[in-house]
Amino acid sequence: MNRIYLDHAATTPLRPEVRQAMEPYEVAHYGNPSSLHARGRAARAGLDDARDRLAQILGCRAGEIIFTSGGTEADNLALIGVSEAHPHQPLWISAVEHRAVLDAAAYLRDRRGVPVHEIPVDHQGRVQVEWVLDHVTPDTALVSVMYVNNEIGTVEPIRVLGQALRERGILFHVDAVQAAEYFPLADLPCDLLSLSAHKFGGPKGAGLLRIRRDVEIVPLLHGGGQERERRPGTENVAGMVGMATALELAAEERELAAARVASLRDRLLAHLRQALPDTRVYGPLAQADAASPPETSEGAPSDTSPSILCVGWPGITGETMVVALDLAGVEVSSGAACSAGSLAPSHVLKALGLEAQEAAGGVRFSLGRETTREEVDEAARRVIETVERLRERQRRGD
């Protein structure tokens, strides 16, 4: 049976060009970039070049990029690092953030006594800028709102919100982990921005936090002077070279890739809606005709990720569907990958106002550059067959 991978929001395959770019730093230029000898200097040159290339894409100074082990560390450094620099000043966090942000905020609240406030979202998962501006106070240490939601694909109004917060002198963090492959990253009005390479064709274990140069932050780790003493530890040179290559490729292909993947997502949704009319759709696509989603002038979806589709069916839990589809050869997720294995309802779907039972039923399909039309059609057939089979078992009382 041919397996179909529709879980690109969890991780993406390493691109061949990225693997090729990384190889010299895993084999020949394996020196420690802090060493002064020839191999160390060669590693340092590769690291510096990767930082320069990433800075060009992000529209920032190279010195504002701090390399991390991935998005989780970057999110933790942003929240905890800023909070430690501004003790006991309140944080505002959107209700639909990734667990890396929510749990870091919970740590600060429970262990450090930091006031942490939740920003609600509407039924599509979107933060309302006016609400935020009405509630944040001048002593706020940080506001954190993600760029693209990893479960339902909602694109948040970060440019408008970021500009408004900047005018008030309030620091703004954006988790852009799910945005890098399909949305522009240059010149975003934020003070801190998190990325993770494996979400856009790069290697696992490589990420970054862009920190505006005048932002004060306390490091989480201690024991070295790397990364301008903000993130000590020997850098993953090959990983950072791979991340730079992957982000360059994503930026070059962004508009065409977004339009192509969105058309495949819409095709999948159309198949499901036609055969299973009670299919529930979560996020911005719930209110739109799947055949004609909202578009920007470039033809890419403007208010939702082109790759993410979150749906559910009455009476069937997300975990049940994930297991059943895996047996059918279709690889998907129930909620965020980091929550896999948990029967708890999705905090994102609950934030939309859904009851716990329905919030436990979401299934996330996330397509990627490699996804083909034939795979989408076959996946739809297997999903439909799986839902009908599970319902037949329910009718029989199995």
Is residue 190 annotated as part of the catalytic site, yes or no? no
Phi/psi-derived region of residue 146, left when phi > 0, alpha when psi is between -120 and 50, beta in every other case: beta
Place of tokens 């450090």: 112
- Residue 219 tokens read as 């490091």
The span from the first CA to the last CA of the chain, in angstroms, equals 26
Which residue from 80, 145, 142 is spatially nearest to 111, judged by alpha carbons?
Answer: 80
- Residue 146 tokens read as 């993600």
**Phi then psi dihedrals of residue 87, to 5 deg:** -55, 135
Q: Are strands 330-331 and 4-5 parallel, antiparallel or unpaired?
A: parallel
Residue 210 neighbours by CB under 8 Å, 6+ apart? 58, 60, 64, 65, 66, 192, 193, 195
CB atoms within 10 A of CB 2: 7
Please list the helix, strand and coil fractions of the chain in percent, rounded to the nearest 5, in that order: 45, 15, 40
Single-letter code of the amino acid located at 61: R
Alpha carbons 340 and 19: distance in angstroms, whole number: 28
Place of tokens 């989480």: 220
Q: Pick the catalytic residue: 60, 190, 310, 338?
A: 338
Handedness of CA 355, 360, 361, 367 (dihedral sign): positive
Alpha carbons 250 and 263: distance in angstroms, whole number: 18
Residue 93 neighbours by CB under 8 Å, 6+ apart? 101, 102, 105, 116, 117, 118, 119, 143, 144
Which residues belong to the active site?
Answer: 338
